[in-house]
Amino acid sequence: MQAAKVKVKDTMSTAKAKAKEKQAKAEEKAEMASTRAHTEKELAHERGKAKAAAAKMELHQEKALHREEAMEHKLHKHGVQLGGYGHGPHHHAAAAPVPAGTTTTTTAVPPPAAGPVSYYPPGPVNRY
């Protein structure tokens, strides 16, 4: 089901990007028709290419966002928490509401200690 949602979102993003590209082409043609100098026509062509490239870039960014959302959904569905291995409770505790008129102070959390990422010792080294 999630794959279908991603596909629909991608199709919508593609349609939107193609519409922006067509609009950029139309603006380019209108600008080229209104100018007479060759350099101004070249400049209009470059602007049109830049707008079309921006539309394509936006399309790729939206597709990446759709994939990210699908991955987050899949991880959440299977109970995998980001930064963990799925161990422990799957429900997050809700933060207690702060009464009006009070301020909260936060304490600085020290950065994690530098060291190995893995808790396991390195495996044997093959020397063949």
Section 52-68 average pLDDT: 91
Q: Is 98 left (phi over 0), alpha (psi -120 to 50) or beta?
A: beta
Average pLDDT score, the chain: 77
Q: Which two tokens stand for residue 40?
A: 């101004």
| Dihedral pair phi/psi, residue 18, rounded to 5° | -65, -35
- The answer to whether the pTM exceeds 0.85 is no
> Tens of pLDDT along 10-53?
899 999 999 999 999 999 999 989 988 999 999 999 999 999 99
Would you state the pLDDT for residue 53?
A: 92
H-type helices in the chain, by residue range? 2-34, 38-77
What distance in Å separates the CA atoms of residue 54 and residue 8, rounded to the nearest whole number? 22
In angstroms, the Cα distances linking 117 to 14, 87, 112, 114, 121 are 40, 18, 11, 9, 11
Q: Is 115 left (phi over 0), alpha (psi -120 to 50) or beta?
A: left
Name the residue with higher pLDDT: 68 or 83. 68
